[in-house]
Amino acid sequence: IGSGTGLLESLLSRLLDDSYDICGVEVSPKVNKYLPEQDMFFVGGTWDLCPQAGKSHVWIFTYPREPNLIVQYLELHDHASLSKIIWLGPKMDWQDYEGVFASSKFSRLTVLENCGAAAYEMVVMAERQVNEL
């Protein structure tokens, strides 16, 4: 969610076997360079939600602009099949998002170290608490 050029999704598709269906969500179709068109979904703005996200097992939020977007996705979709949420963004923004995850069913947080992110970036995996499984 927030796929931009689609590079991350394209790289993930190459690494994973065909049982994974990697799709991107973006506002403008003009920025996509790497994902096939059939693997992209477009929304009306940075505030808009993608209905297809409700079918996903994992969400990756890439540089989301607003913490409330994650709240809205969690409220809208029956996320019974959702197992993980991955947040990728600037370290300095994490404090704005941590509370969103801490107050959700996805409050078991793991900061991924040495994962290839730039020094100013952070990757966090949010999973359901054990009692939520």
* Separation CA 106–CA 59 (nearest Å): 12
Which of 57, 53, 83 is CA-nearest to residue 70? 53
| Length in residues, the chain | 133
* Separation CA 28–CA 48 (nearest Å): 12
pLDDT digits (tens, 9 = 90+) for 12-70: 999 998 888 899 999 999 999 999 999 999 999 999 999 999 889 999 999 999 999 99
* Separation CA 93–CA 101 (nearest Å): 13
Give the pLDDT confidence score for residue 132 in this predicted structure. 57
Q: What is the dihedral of CA 80, 96, 65, 22, to 10 degrees?
A: -30
Give the pLDDT confidence score for residue 79 in this predicted structure. 67
pLDDT digits (tens, 9 = 90+) for 55-91: 899 999 999 999 999 999 999 876 678 999 999 999 9
Q: Residue 121 is inside which H or E element, if any?
A: strand 121-127
pLDDT digits (tens, 9 = 90+) for 85-112: 999 999 999 999 999 999 999 999 999 9
pTM of the model: 0.90
What are the extents of the domains in the chain? 7-132
The fold of 7-132 is Rossmann fold (3.40.50)
CB 59 within 8 A of CB 53: yes
CB 24 within 8 A of CB 6: yes
